[in-house]
Structure 1
Amino acid sequence: MRKQKIVRTAEQQLLLDQLKNVAEGLGQTLAPFCEVVVHDLLDPAHAIAAIHNKLSGRDVGGPATELGLARIGDAAYPAIVANYANSFADGRQAKSTSIGVKDSSGQYVAALCINVDLTMFHGLQAMFGQFSRIGAGTAPQESLDPAGADGIRRRIDDYAARLSSTPRTLKAGERRALIEELREAGCLEVRRAMEIIAQHLGISRATVYSYAK
């Protein structure tokens, strides 16, 4: 089926083109931890007009999000929705900001969306926490309860911080040692543990299983 031709005014096309330029500049500046997307709200079935730093795995031509559809249906919808909790398809936590753009008639024609991957920042937070930690004794402070997926992710962040690294920049040998540490802590017994570990490290489940052998 041929894509239906979308008719835009000269003003609407200019706004969309200028927004693409803004997105490209932001994408270059905020790489690699920030995805920047331009949504064409006049073509909701193929709304993604530009995408930079594709953290979500989406492509140009993808459909509008629920927020985009809400804007299309309501000209009174807030122009700026900032710093709301979001997540990528693989479970990584994100925070997002969406900025709607109207033409001179008051119709929403486009939106600029910024999706920040918080994984790296959580790793840095753990690293700084490790650096500034002061203890009276030499015994490590830890919890014996893996506490599910969040517990596994925290343990991975803490491990990476001890190496002055982040989960996704760990070397193969460091990842093997991490898996052994998680095994000793009982984390591999948690439901979907291998999938959770793979997603947080940015590697395949097959690789995690090979480390666990």
Structure 2
Amino acid sequence: MRKSTWEREHESLLAQVMQIADGLGQTFAPFCEVVVHDLRDPGHAILAIHNNLSGRAVGDPATELGLARIADEDYPQLLANYPNQFGDGRRAKSTSVGIKDSSGRYIAALCLNVDLNLFRGIQNVLEQFCRASGVGAKESLDPANAEAIRERIDQYAMSLSTTPQALKTEHRRALMQELKQAGFLEVRKSMEIIAAHLGVSRATVYNDTK
């Protein structure tokens, strides 16, 4: 069946957006999640997701922002650097760009979500690197603090140029040994804290500790 002019235009626009998303994803890995939404199919809107930080998948539905664009052609085309939050509570900074066809109708959206927790980890690494007073590592000053555990995990993931949620099994096991040697596993509810930050079950954390 021959495609209509609108179908050809939409396919061309989406193909270009997919390429842009791929380029942005490769450039800003692993700090920035890049998502392409097809607003013509809100129930299965996600067409592509690079550097998956939110745990979503291709075929997942549109967000509230996407639905708002579908309902209102006058909805802002660019929303930049607005505060956001991932499902597990991690803070994020997001930018969303609406894509319109020649009739002015929203057909897609290109969204970028930056995990601010990762940059907090980078900041901690830089502070430690620049420290010249001879003071020990930051986490050793307060080993019973849950934030210290999360920061140690962030630092470990950063050393591998990845995110805590994307650590492979062998890397998680090496991380657990580091946390054990540093005394973090003695902290009350440490397993729950670690499992939540890695995005895995407590059973997986216990298994990785063996």
TM-score range, shorter chain: 0.7 to 0.9
Deviation (angstroms), 1:171? 6.5
- Cα 1:108/1:126, change in 2 over 3 Å: same
Q: Which amino acid aligns with 1:182?
A: F
- Cα 1:150/1:70, change in 2 over 3 Å: farther
Residues 1:194 and 2:194 aligned together: no
TM-score (norm 1): 0.72
How many Å separate the matches in 1 of 2:134 and 2:113? 41
Q: Which moved more, 1:43-52 or 1:85-94?
A: 85-94
Task: Name the structure 2 match of 1:55.
Answer: 53
Q: How big is the alpha-carbon RMSD for the aligned residues of Structure 1 and Structure 2?
A: 3.5
Q: Is the 8 A contact 1:36 1:52 kept in 2?
A: yes
Task: Name the structure 2 match of 1:133.
Answer: 131
Residues 1:34 and 2:39 aligned together: no
Task: Name the structure 2 match of 1:182.
Answer: 184
How many Å separate the matches in 2 of 1:21 and 1:138? 46
TM-score (norm 2): 0.73
How many Å separate the matches in 1 of 2:127 and 2:53? 26
After superposition, the C-alpha distances for 1:80-112 in whole angstroms (9 at most, x for unaligned) are 112223333344433221111122222211110
Task: Name the structure 1 match of 2:66.
Answer: 68
Q: Which moved more, 1:119-128 or 1:41-50?
A: 119-128
Give the 5 Å matches for 1:1-213.
8-135=6-133, 142-143=141-142, 146=145, 150=147, 152-154=149-151, 156-157=153-154, 160=156, 168=164, 172-179=173-180, 181-184=183-186, 186=187, 188-189=188-189, 193-201=190-198, 204-210=201-207
How many Å separate the matches in 1 of 2:38 and 2:112? 15
Q: Among all aligned residue pairs of Structure 1 and Structure 2, give the percentage whose two residues are the same amino acid.
A: 55
Deviation (angstroms), 1:40? 1.1
Runs (4 or more) in structure 1 with deviation over 6 Å come to 136-141, 164-167
How many Å separate the matches in 1 of 2:57 and 2:50? 9
Q: Which amino acid aligns with 2:202?
A: R
How many Å separate the matches in 2 of 1:201 and 1:87? 16
- Cα 1:176/1:102, change in 2 over 3 Å: same
Q: Paired residues, what number?
A: 198
Q: Is the 8 A contact 1:83 1:96 kept in 2?
A: yes
